[in-house]
Amino acid sequence: MTTLQKVTRKELLALPVRQCNTTKQYDYLIVFGSRKRHESGFNLFVVVGCKHEAPVEIVSLCSDVINWELPAGRLNVDCLPKSNALRFWCNDALLRVGPGLSSLFVKAIQEKQR
């Protein structure tokens, strides 16, 4: 995989897909629109989980809503130059991502709870 600044959507979409009924923790998430529509009429997200500065797997392809629980700290967002995807992360926390359902739940977990 190329660096984050040069990664393309095509490369991100080639990653393995996580089993939808699992919960995992990631250092940050990359999110972009899939151009497919949910039955609700809203577009679906592609959500990619990343660890150690590298995309690992597709977390969800079927979510049209992302619910964020941020008990402390702040959520940071930047935009990757090549893919135009958004990268989300917290300075002192991991992002715990629940099952990849229509609504995807993401909770910031303090590092001591790893």
Q: What average pLDDT does the segment 15-38 reach?
A: 89
pLDDT interval class at 1 (50, 70, 90): low
> Residue 73 belongs to what H/E stretch?
none
Structure tokens at 87: 């990268």
Q: Where are the domains of the chain?
A: 9-113
- The 10s digit of each residue's pLDDT in 69-114 is 988 678 999 999 999 999 999 988 999 999 877 889 999 997 645 4
Pairing type for strands 65-69 and 103-110 reads parallel
Is residue 107 within 8 Å of 69, Cβ to Cβ? Answer: yes
